[in-house]
Amino acid sequence: MFSLLAILVLTFTRPASAFDGRSGENIVIKSDEVIDDDLYVTAGAFVLDGTVNGDLIVVGQTLTINGKVDGDVMAAGQPPPRLNRLLNRCGSGGQLPVSQAYAIQSS
C-alpha cells in the first residue's frame, strides 16, 4: 500500500521544484528545525514539531503534526486504536476502506 501511495505522490509532483525527502522507522522534525522546501516522508512513525515552508506529504503508520505547515498537507496513516475499536463495533472488522478517507482542512 505504501508503494502505491508513493507512486501516486510522485505522479502529482512538480518536476522543477526542490524538495526534502526523508524515510526511516522514526522521523522527527524538531521544534527548532525549519524546512524551506516541500517535505516528502515515508516512516513508521512521523512527528512534526518544527516548521515546513512548503507542502508536506507523509505516509506512515503513526503521524503526529504539532508544528506549522505553510502549504498543503497530504497524509496517509493508520487509524488510531480507538477508531479501530469503534469500527469493530460497527461491524467493519476494524478496517477503514480507502473509499472512506478523511480530509481535514484548516483555515
Is 103 among the domain residues? no
CB 52 within 8 A of CB 35: yes
pTM for the structure as a whole? 0.62
CB 92 within 8 A of CB 35: no
- Model pLDDT for residues 10-44, shown as the tens digit of each residue: 665 555 557 888 999 999 999 999 999 999 999 99
Mean pLDDT, rounded, for 89-99: 48
Cell numbers standing for residue 3: 508503494
Is 104 among the domain residues? no
Q: Domain of residue 67: give its range.
A: 2-96
Q: How many domains does the chain have?
A: 1
Cell numbers standing for residue 65: 503534526
Measured between alpha carbons, how far is 40 from 98 in angstroms, rounded to an integer? 21
How many other C-beta atoms can be found within 10 angstroms of the C-beta atom of residue 67? 18
